[in-house]
Amino acid sequence: MFDAVLRGLRLIGRNVIDRIWRLGYASRFFAAVLMHSGTALRRYNLTIREIYFAGVLSLIIISVSGLFVGMVLGLQGYDTLQRYGSSDSLGVLVALSLVRELGPVVAGLLFASRAGSAITAEIGLMKATEQITAMEMMAVDPIARVVAPRFWGGVISMPLLAALFSALGVFGGWLVGVVLIGVDDGSFWAQMQAAVDFRQDIVNGVIKSAVFGMAVAWIAVFEGYDAIPTAEGVSRATTRTVVTSSLAILALDFVLTAFMFRGI
Amino acid sequence: MSAEQLVEVDDVSFAYERRPILTGVSLKIPRGKVIAIMGASGCGKTTLLRLISGQVRPTRGTVRVDGQVVHELDREGLYRLRRRMGMLFQFGALFTDMSVFDNVAFQIREHTDLPAELVRDLVMMKLHAVGLRGSHAFMPSELSGGMARRVALARAIALDPMLIMYDEPFTGLDPISMGVIGQLVRALNAALGASSIIVTHDVQEALQLVDYVYFVSEGRIVAEGTADEVRASRHPYVHQFVWAEPDGPVPFDYPAAAFRDELLRAPHV
């Protein structure tokens, strides 16, 4: 009995130490990526290529999701607002929900599943097939050549994707609210313009999406670089990227929201 | 350090955590020669290459390459040294997102500021040397195993290295490709004035082309000699290895409990 308790405690202790060690390792890795970012930014072609893979190739999923989320917001928002006779405020509801929350968060979650997993799988497989070691043997630093461009590609793409998500969401809300249901076009846009504050709402939304982009890109490159170089190891790393980034986005969203909108 | 030795491994031991891989290994790679390091899978041969290229640090002893103690070099120094080394990985390790041309051009572009036309000429010369000039536009996924290995060889010699290391260059190849790689090893060594280390367990292929052989078993050098000496050796391990005998100092059976006890054991294990 005593032994079983002791074993249990030991297991918990070891797991906690392992996680803290891994967090420390990931932070050192993050510092190394930042330190080696000079090459990635100087040789911008490398980063542009990664923006294409992480950003441009995510356009379809982001656009379609943004449009549909906006359309659903339009339907649900109208249903609720018309009970209080304020269906003219539909534009405000759709826009604020999107630029403050749904845009950065949902785009972040989609970005983690679409681009984050791809980055992890690519780096992990490069490691498993000795491409990373080959690069080191050729005196080329893989953190500067492989990791940093992918990191910055993700960081730059994410706010743009979130902005696009919100824009298409507003369009979707307008499509359903104004074109289908018949809410007044003028009040839809005028109320939105009056109620959405550039600094408070839009800039804060962009800051959120930039932070999420950095978190997802960091997790994705770290998991790929740290993957056990086997088929199973890479598959586990890819799963970890999606799970950890999604949780990180939700947790960071709470923290950022608490700081940004506490006065309202 | 004598001028004729390009690589000197002196009393080197290495362990992964507490598991010893190499114990007190000493060997020399003279300039201009082709040397083989042979031994069964998992005996520590590849670790030797990793020590020579500075990917891991010895727990004891020193590895000198061209007069420099590898593990004492800082990152810059190590990278400078590696620019003068080429390594052929077991399965080529070509960059799968780049064409054959870009793979071979990779090092040249990374380490020099040569104009594009000159890079093109150099890449074509290297591909021509391995007989694959016509495949420069292919992607690695379009190559056969033997072709991929040859492209990887062209990439390894892109900067005319002084030392070329081959990690199991013959594994998984058909006899024709094996012969081609064997010929290339010798020809490139002579053409570049380089030295070569081949880590392999393909005895017959390797013995045809090397100048000297070291045999590694359980992390130690157990025998060494020229190809003819090795063929004629009465050393039990070398004899078993060269003549591919199923039983000998390397037993057929992995250590286990007595067979009778195993069969009578309760079924739950």
What is the reported pLDDT for A70? 96
Chain A residues in contact with B82 (beta carbon < 8 A): 136-139
| B14, part of any domain | yes
Average pLDDT of every residue of chain A: 93
| B110, part of any domain | no
How many beta-carbon pairs below 8 A join chains A and B?
47
The answer to whether A134 faces chain B, any CB pair under 8 Å, is yes
Q: Which of A53, A137, A141, A146 to mutate to test the interface with B (most CBs of B within 10 A)?
A: A137
Q: Which of A130, A139, A141 sits opposite B93 (nearest CB)?
A: A130
C-alpha dihedral (B153, B155, B158, B160), degrees to nearest 10: -30
Q: How far apart are CA B48 and CA B54, in angstroms?
A: 10
Calculate mean pLDDT across residues A171-186: 94
Q: How far apart are CA A13 and CA A7, in angstroms?
A: 10
| B119, part of any domain | no
Question: pTM of the prediction?
Answer: 0.86
| B84, part of any domain | yes
Sign of CA dihedral B228, B230, B236, B241: negative
- CB pair distance less than 8 Å for A130 and B85: no
Distances (CA, A) of A226 to A132, A212, A220: 12, 21, 10
The answer to whether A138 faces chain B, any CB pair under 8 Å, is yes
Listed in sequence order, the residues at least 6 apart from B166 whose beta carbon sits closer than 8 Å to its beta carbon are B87, B88, B185, B196, B197, B198, B199, B200
Listed in sequence order, the residues at least 6 apart from A221 whose beta carbon sits closer than 8 Å to its beta carbon are A29, A33, A119, A120, A123, A147, A150, A151, A154
The answer to whether B112 faces chain A, any CB pair under 8 Å, is no
Q: Which of A49, A123, A135, A138 to mutate to test the interface with B (most CBs of B within 10 A)?
A: A138
Q: Are strands B68-69 and B85-88 parallel, antiparallel or unpaired?
A: unpaired
Q: Which of B82, B93, B95 sits opposite A139 (nearest CB)?
A: B82
Q: What tokens does A257 get?
A: 């929201």
Chain B residue closest in CA terms to A49 = B97
DSSP structure class, residue B254: P
| Burial degree of B164 (CB within 10 A; 0-12, 13-18, 19+) | buried
How does pLDDT run across A64-115, given as a tens digit for each residue? 999 999 999 999 999 999 999 888 899 999 999 999 999 999 999 999 999 9
What is the reported pLDDT for B20? 86
User: Quick one: what percent of chain A has pLDDT higher than 70?
Assistant: 99
What is the reported pLDDT for B181? 85
Calculate mean pLDDT across residues A165-170: 96
The answer to whether B106 faces chain A, any CB pair under 8 Å, is yes
Measured from the Cβ of residue B113, the count of other Cβ atoms closer than 10 Å reads 6
Chain A residues in contact with B93 (beta carbon < 8 A): 129-131, 133-134
What is the reported pLDDT for B1? 46
How does pLDDT run across A111-151, given as a tens digit for each residue? 999 999 999 999 999 999 999 999 999 999 999 999 999 99
| B174, part of any domain | yes
The answer to whether A129 faces chain B, any CB pair under 8 Å, is yes
Measured in residues, chain B has a length of: 269
* Annotated domain spans of chain A: 36-260
- For chain B, 269 residues long, the average pLDDT of each consecutive 10-residue run is 78 86 90 89 84 91 91 91 91 91 93 92 91 90 89 91 90 83 88 90 84 88 86 81 75 76 73
Domain count, chain B: 1
Question: Are A132 and A242 in contact, with CB atoms under 8 Å apart?
Answer: no
How does pLDDT run across A46-62, given as a tens digit for each residue? 999 999 999 999 999 99
Chain B: closest CA distance from residue A107 (Å): 27
List the CATH number of the domain containing B51: 3.40.50.300
What is this model's ipTM? 0.84
State which amino acid sits at residue A255: V
Question: Are B226 and B33 in contact, with CB atoms under 8 Å apart?
Answer: no
| B140, part of any domain | no
